[in-house]
Structure 1
Amino acid sequence: MSDITTHHWTASDGVDLVWHETGAGRPLILVHGLFSDAAMNWIKFGHAARLAAAGFRVIMPDLRAHGASGKPHDAALYPKGVLGRDLVELVAQLGLSNYDLGGFSLGSRTVVQGVGQGLAPRRAILSGMGLEGLMGWKQRHAFFIEAFEKFDAAVRGDRHWFAIQFMKSQKVDRVATRLLLESNSPVDEAMLATFAMPTLVLCGADDHDNGSAQALAEALPDATYVEIPGTHTTSVTQKSLGEAIATFLTSP
């Protein structure tokens, strides 16, 4: 897409962060997943273009330690909940008061953190995420730490193989992303209870990486569960992901 613009801003701790945007209209913030970036999750497969065509100003940050954003190697710059804090600060930076907010995988966790820290979008989207992935973070954390440790040794057939290949394709900064992993913590029931806004829980039919998306929808006060084709890796490539988000956000 030629109409994507890229903007830099400085977080409260001095880290340079980036957001990309396209379209005009109602603000919609979309947050990408772990080891990915805005281009991979939202732009490459047409979701940003679809949502811009539906009348949205699509705002897509690159998370700390990802994409074009800063990747510091100082552990002090990765306190608990830092991604939620960055998201809160971005909303303030943009001066938004009436907006929608969504994420994929780690982006969904970041949305939950942001709402837990005071964000109040009109509607929310949690995609590529299940209840266990939010509330049982220790297991996912251990998986990724093992992937880092096997980065140069894992062979095809190893359960970490695809995660490692994706990290290599994205040229991730392993020092920065490992520090970022340590900043995450399990979500508790009180944080989920803050989701008073209508929420779309969207997940691939064969995506079980983060547990049950249907259970997550049932745990939220006002959620709708929608299933699309694909695994955790392939669902984000499906046209139906952007279509489902557009339908949810434009419905009465």
Structure 2
Amino acid sequence: MTNFVYDGLQIAYRDEGPREGDPILLIHGFASNRRINWVETGWTKTLAEAGYRVVSFDNRGHGDSEKLYDPKAYTPPRMADDAAALLDHLEIPKAHIMGYSMGGRIGAFLARDHGPRVATLTLGGIGMALIEGSGDWKPVAEALLTDEPGKITDPTGQEFRAFADRTGADRKALAACIESNRILLSAEDVARIEQPTLIAVGTEDTIAGSPHDLAALMPNAVAFDIERRSHLIATGDKTFKAQMLEFLEEHPL
């Protein structure tokens, strides 16, 4: 891992694949990190072997990047600024952007706030939740902070607490992140994202919301159903990878 400094923070990243290839920036989901989201699922290898320059990083509060405990530090616009700053650091004027779940939300804000940097946008694991939200995440924050994990009753809280414990994540930083990262985009903002966009969601995903309804609001978006996959399992699905490669081939830089 390599670090760069932005907004006073150390942010860890990797820059892999052929330098002459079209760059693609990968933005991981909540409570995950670049290794779990992109390396272990085979995305980094798949994209690099297809000839892409693959840039991935640990979002602030995650992985090997610096941890913060103020919820105001984790708004999607600030985290989108981190992504744009990494492109600046690597002197990449424009890249394909792919985000999963929270990373998709960050990618959408990146397209809104830094549109000229975004060649295409792929939103994995997030559909209409980008606009409508996906329920109450306060129990997740409580589950992350409790000293008695055996007493967690909320299923989503149990799932994310177990994931955080398994990966050795900083649970206090994650709780701060979840408090402010659920900021929504308006339908009007989404309609102004003109870049070619692929929206891929598992058919058994109960968190993301409809990819088809979201695509219908956008001028240049297509939806893809990841068959028989739930939110956490859809990430590395082989049909998702095949669809993504086809999408990128149709929209080179």
The TM-score, its normalising length taken from structure 1, stands at: 0.88
Query: Paired residue for 1:219?
Result: 217
Asked whether the 8 Å contact 1:128–1:204 carries over to 2, the reply is yes
Assess, with a 3 A threshold, how the Cα gap between structure 1 residues 79 and 129 changes in structure 2: closer, same or farther: closer
Query: Paired residue for 1:46?
Result: 42
Q: For 2:2, which of 1, 7, 14 is the aligned residue?
A: 7
Q: For 1:198, which of 196, 199, 203 is the aligned residue?
A: 196
Give the letter for the 1:39 counterpart. R
1:149-195 residue CA offsets vs partner (Å, 9 max, x unmatched): 56613468844322221121122212212222233211112321231
Structure 1's unaligned 5+ residue stretches are 1-5
Greater displacement, 182-191 / 209-218: 182-191
Q: For 2:170, which of 170, 173, 192 is the aligned residue?
A: 173
2-structure distance, mates of 1:78, 1:201: 24
Assess, with a 3 A threshold, how the Cα gap between structure 1 residues 123 and 79 changes in structure 2: closer, same or farther: closer
Asked whether the 8 Å contact 2:141–2:179 carries over to 1, the reply is no
Asked whether the 8 Å contact 2:13–2:57 carries over to 1, the reply is yes
Secondary structure at the counterpart of residue 176 of structure 2: helix
Query: Paired residue for 1:247?
Result: 246
Deviation at 1:10? 0.3
Q: Calculate the aligned-residue CA RMSD, in Å.
A: 2.2
Give the letter for the 2:195 counterpart. M
Q: For 2:24, which of 14, 22, 28 is the aligned residue?
A: 28
Asked whether the 8 Å contact 1:88–1:119 carries over to 2, the reply is no
Asked whether the 8 Å contact 2:206–2:230 carries over to 1, the reply is yes
Asked whether the 8 Å contact 1:82–1:183 carries over to 2, the reply is no
Q: What is the percentage of aligned positions where both structures have the same residue?
A: 25
Secondary structure at the counterpart of residue 206 of structure 1: coil
Secondary structure at the counterpart of residue 70 of structure 1: coil
Aligned residues: 245
1-structure distance, mates of 2:174, 2:206: 23
Secondary structure at the counterpart of residue 122 of structure 1: strand
Query: Paired residue for 1:71?
Result: 67
Assess, with a 3 A threshold, how the Cα gap between structure 1 residues 100 and 86 changes in structure 2: closer, same or farther: same
Asked whether the 8 Å contact 1:48–1:242 carries over to 2, the reply is no
1-structure distance, mates of 2:66, 2:132: 28
Secondary structure at the counterpart of residue 69 of structure 1: coil
Structure 2's unaligned 5+ residue stretches are none
Give the letter for the 1:231 counterpart. S
Greater displacement, 81-90 / 53-62: 81-90
Query: Paired residue for 2:81?
Result: 85
1-structure distance, mates of 2:55, 2:100: 14
2-structure distance, mates of 1:193, 1:125: 15
Q: For 2:105, which of 90, 109, 117 is the aligned residue?
A: 109
Greater displacement, 100-109 / 112-121: 112-121
Asked whether the 8 Å contact 2:76–2:105 carries over to 1, the reply is no
Deviation at 1:68? 0.9
Secondary structure at the counterpart of residue 139 of structure 1: coil
Q: For 2:11, which of 11, 17, 35 is the aligned residue?
A: 17
Deviation at 1:113? 1.2
Give the letter for the 1:46 counterpart. G
Secondary structure at the counterpart of residue 243 of structure 1: helix
Please state if 1:118 is matched with 2:114.
yes
Query: Paired residue for 2:207?
Result: 209
Give the letter for the 1:83 counterpart. M
Query: Paired residue for 1:3?
Result: none
Secondary structure at the counterpart of residue 65 of structure 2: coil
